[in-house]
Amino acid sequence: DAGEYLVNFGEFVENNHPLAPASYTFEWWIQEFEESEVNVQALADSPRIDLESPAVEEALDWATEYDAPLHPEYTYLWHDLSTTQFEALGDAVDEGTVTAGELELTRTQVVREALETLLVEHRQTAETLSIPEWRALVATMGFSEELTREWDSLSEAAHAWDGGQNAMKAVEEVAPFAVRERAPTRIGNRMGRPEKSEKRELSPAVHTLFPIGEAGGPQRDVAKAARYAPDMRDKPGEIEVRVGRRECEDCGTHTFRGDCPGCGANTFPHYECPDCDRELEPDEAGRVECPRCEVAGTSVDRRMIDIGDAYHDALDALGEREGSFETLKGVKGLTSSHKTPEPMEKGVLRAKHGVSAFKDGTIRYDMTDLPVSSVRPEELDVSVDEFHRLGYHEDIEGAPLEHADQLVELKVQDIVLSDGAAEHLLKTADFVDDLLERYYGLEPFYDVSEREELVGELVFGMAPHTSAAVVGRVIGFTSAAVGYAHPYFHASKRRNCDGDEDCVMLLMDGLLNFSKEYLPDKRGGQMDAPLVMSSRIDPAEIDDEAHNMDVVERYPLEFYEATREMADPGEVDIRLAEESVGTDDQYRGFAHTHDTSNIALGPDLSAYKTLGSMMEKMDAQLELARKLRAVDETDVAERVIEYHFLPDLIGNLRAFSSQETRCLSCGKKYRRMPLSGECRDCGGDVNLTVHEGSVSKYMDTATRVAEEYGCREYTKQRLKILDRSLESVFENDKNKQSGIADFM
């Protein structure tokens, strides 16, 4: 049993799902207790009493003397026990003894399983079962503290109720107080994806969107491309690449650069007919077509570019040396429509500051979305004075904000960065300042050296598959590998906060370095790019899923009673965020039912991230499946094999059979291995790109899992067939001695 999981009321409204019977929790119990004759406020004020986790004597006294069910702390999972098991446990208690304050029962399989099912803490020896905290258990079963009972056997009604598979009717018969169902609803979970806090990079990462072809080798090293000379008669660094033809709007100079090398003015695409070389102009609709040849014009051609000159000119312009960074990585080719290269100076400065460019020229950092509506300055590693500067002056109760542990309501466009994101944005800020000062000749903008100086700075938030960025403000930091923000902020990115991962980028970097000229011309190339910007979130314009968020301090008793009836959520009056949309309160009043001392109090990283190899992850998953009562470990093993191992093995085998070969020196790829075994360009060794080890690495593990967890024969046979296919590909038949029996 993995514990309790809170599904908020708004989820049932959003999905139009009947309410599920709720667990009997403290929030439910305290309201029933408040309806009794006891002075609950006096108990709450007492320093000796803990209402949420009371002593067993207090819980039993309250349940016996007042008209309220037994406290959830001592309410066990009786609904998971059969009536027969209940009677067997009762017989064991009847024969048990109390020794040194612990209840000792004779160990039998049925009694041991009953205690484990109820989740009653106990210790086992070869002969006995010892229960340290036993008073609530025996009282619920109709026993006194002297272990005497007033019942000998249960009624037929108790055995007949729910087919005898639920002992709640038996508890109702013998317990001297009311007992609720502790966990009437169970759900299964699976991990969609682990949390993420990582810089967003192209694969492989690049510093500059400047094409260098194959001259940079496998590492796409611009410095290496600057020395590239396949023929000694060629000038080093001169390579042929596909780039755009552009024309200066002022002086008419033709160039491939975005700015004119002569006068510094802007340049625009220059179109020609690919058949007759006639100069063309776009029509009013932006189409370019040759009237003579009736073919589309193009602004792209192949031309020789001196990478060496471009590289060293960039270094000289910035006053940098090659030794100020490790490797400057370019791209083999450009994917945009007009094939416009980025100024190499930007790449030099990115390499210097240890950041890389995305496809549109921006620097991004990914974080898993998590919603939060209230925060404390101390949990964000920010001072109260900083919060005052950011416009926070009162806590959620309306009291003046004076202490770092006061809870304040988060403004809808304020976000919390992970520690990794803060470090990355510091590097980005240094890069932007260097770029402004040394390339554009302007004053630095950020001038930050510590992450605390990022507080108050503006960022873009963006989700993949969209073309709109949302402006946010950094308010603090968290050690969790996620990005905390208001639900409205995530929803404005067209997200529903269910574990999606989105990026942030410094606002100045997005404004300064983004260009549509760099975006791919393929379908979807305009996606995941800040084509438009939302500077202000209007709650009326975001997805209404965020409006179905309940904003109450606690669920009323009527709500919990309604869950027992599986009522329609529309029948329960719970305040939702949609009620304030369009009013003066649409940006505030987001109350919550449960508090925490720190939003990063849980594990900073899940086991999926801390475990090493995929084998370790799988073994941990299957071991967990063994322990969880809601999970069939055989079914889990089947799914791992069917949806992970088999597709991986089959895909790798297909990749091996259709792979290219690659030169280890210059990186040139060949569809088939040259007969000489050497690269035709540089004479280097040519090797496979897919190897046997990567194809069959999961075969033995998949076979072991299938046998160990009793998978279906069908699954085992699929693995055997695949194993034979691997043998036929990788096993050398020359080393096998055949006999006549092999052919019979």
Does the pLDDT at position 715 exceed 80? Answer: yes
Non-local (6+) Cβ contacts of 604 within 8 A are 479, 480, 481
User: Sorting pLDDT into bands at 50, 70 and 90, what band is 222?
Assistant: very high
Examine residue 180 and state whether it is found in any structural domain, yes or no: no
Cβ(16)–Cβ(545) under 8 Å?
no
Query: Following DSSP, what letter does each residue of 71-104 receive, concatenated?
Result: PGGG---GGGS-HHHHHHHHHHHHT-EEETTEEE
> What band does 743 get if pLDDT is binned at 50, 70 and 90?
low
Q: How far apart are CA 272 and CA 290, in angstroms?
A: 8
C-alpha–C-alpha distance, residues 228 and 207, integer Å = 19
Q: How many domains does the chain have?
A: 5
- Among 644, 636, 624, 653, residue whose Cα is nearest residue 722: 653
Q: Provide the pLDDT for residue 230.
A: 75
pLDDT tier at 710 (50, 70, 90 boundaries)?
Answer: very high
> Which has the closest alpha carbon to 596: 374, 388, 404, 312?
374
153 belongs to a structural domain: yes
739: confidence class by pLDDT, cuts 50, 70, 90: low
Same structural domain for residues 415 and 348? Answer: no
Q: Is the pLDDT of residue 735 over 70?
A: no
| Per-residue model confidence (pLDDT) at position 9 | 96
Asked, for residue 127, whether it belongs to a domain, the answer is yes
Residues 265, 336: one domain? Answer: yes
**Taking the CB of residue 604, how many other CB atoms lie within 10 A of it?**
17
Q: In Å, how far are 609, 724, 726 from 713, measured between CA atoms?
A: 33, 17, 20
Residue, of 730 and 587, whose pLDDT is higher: 587
User: Any residues with CB less than 8 A from the CB of 696 and at least 6 apart, and which?
Assistant: 649, 652, 726, 730
Task: For 229-246, write each residue's pLDDT tens digit.
Answer: 877 657 888 999 999 999
Same domain, 144 and 9: no
Question: What's the mean pLDDT when you consider all of the chain?
Answer: 92
Name all contacts of 256-260 with Cβ < 8 Å and 24+ positions apart. Answer: 256/303, 256/305, 256/339, 256/340, 256/341, 257/341, 257/343, 258/340, 258/341, 258/342, 258/343, 258/515, 258/517, 259/343
Asked if 221 contacts 328 with a C-beta cutoff of 8 angstroms, the reply is yes
The tens digit of pLDDT for each residue in 367-410 reads 999 999 999 999 999 999 999 999 999 999 999 999 999 999 99
What is the per-residue DSSP string for 295-338?
-B-BSEEEEEEEHHHHHHHHHHHHT--GGGSS--B-BSS--BSS
| Predicted pLDDT of residue 26 | 96
pLDDT band at residue 613 using 50, 70 and 90 as cut-offs:
confident
- Determine, yes or no, domain membership for 387: no
- Give the tokens for residue 182: 């502790």
Whether 404 maps to a domain, the answer reads: no
Beta strand 97-99 with 102-106: parallel, antiparallel or unpaired?
antiparallel
- My answer on whether 48 and 101 are in the same domain is yes
Dihedral (CA of 453, 455, 459, 462) sign: positive
* Residue listed under structure tokens 């072991």: 704
Closest CA to 332 of 233, 224, 255, 229: 224
User: Rounded distance, CA 143 to CA 504, Å?
Assistant: 61
DSSP state of 344: H
Q: Are residues 45 and 159 in the same domain?
A: yes
For 374, the 3-state DSSP assignment is strand
DSSP assignments along 504-573, one per residue: EEEHHHHHHH--GGGSBSSTTTTSSS-SEEESS--GGGS-TTGGG-B--SS--HHHHHHHHTT--GGGS-
What is the mean predicted confidence (pLDDT) over 324-333?
94
Q: Which of 518, 535, 552 is the last residue of a domain?
A: 535
- Reduced to 3 states, what is the DSSP secondary structure of residue 351? helix
Q: How confident is the model at residue 742 (pLDDT cuts 50, 70, 90)?
A: low
Judged against a pLDDT cut of 70, whether residue 564 lies above it is answered with yes
CA distance 565 to 207: 60
Q: Give me the domain span that covers residue 543.
A: 1-16+538-598
- Please report, for residues 369, 619, 622, 637, the alpha-carbon distance to residue 631 in angstroms, rounded to integers and kept in the order given: 28, 15, 10, 11
CATH number reported for the structural domain that contains residue 473 in this entry: 2.40.40.20
For the segment 486-500, what is each residue's pLDDT rounded down to a tens digit?
A: 999 999 999 878 678
Q: What b/e string do you get for 475-493 counting C-beta neighbours within 10 Å, with b at 16 or more?
A: bbbbbbbbbbbbbbbbbbb
Q: Which residues, 6 or more positions from 163, have their beta carbon under 8 angstroms from its beta carbon?
A: none
**Domain assignment of residue 391, yes or no:** no
For the cut 70, the answer to whether the pLDDT of residue 65 exceeds it is yes
For the stretch 250-263, pLDDT in tens is 999 999 999 998 89
618 and 698 share one domain: yes
**Are 1 and 90 found together in one domain?**
no
In whole angstroms, give the CA distance from residue 292 to residue 314. Answer: 42
Asked if the model's pLDDT at residue 702 lies above 70, the reply is yes
- Whether residue 670 is contained in a domain is answered as yes
Residue pair 492/537 in contact by the 8 Å Cβ criterion: yes
Same domain as 104, residue 25? yes
- Do both 480 and 437 map to the same domain? yes
In whole angstroms, give the CA distance from residue 281 to residue 283: 6
Summarize pLDDT for 626-649 with one digit per residue, the tens: 888 778 899 999 999 999 899 988
Secondary structure (3-state) at 11: helix
220 contacts 206 by C-beta, under 8 angstroms: yes
Query: Mean pLDDT lowest for which of 436-440, 514-518, 599-603, 604-608?
Result: 604-608
Looking at the structure, do residues 313 and 457 belong to the same domain, yes or no? no
Does 115 share its domain with 148?
yes
Tokens matching residue 213:
């072809």
Residue 137 CA to residue 122 CA, distance in Å, equals 12
Shared domain for 466 and 348, answered yes or no, is: no
The b-or-e profile of 677-689 (16+ CB within 10 A means b, else e) is: eebeeeeeebeee
Strand partners, 415: 474, 485
Structural domain includes residue 156: yes
pLDDT band at 654 (very low <50, low <70, confident <90, very high): confident
Cis peptide leading into residue 204 (ω within 30°): yes
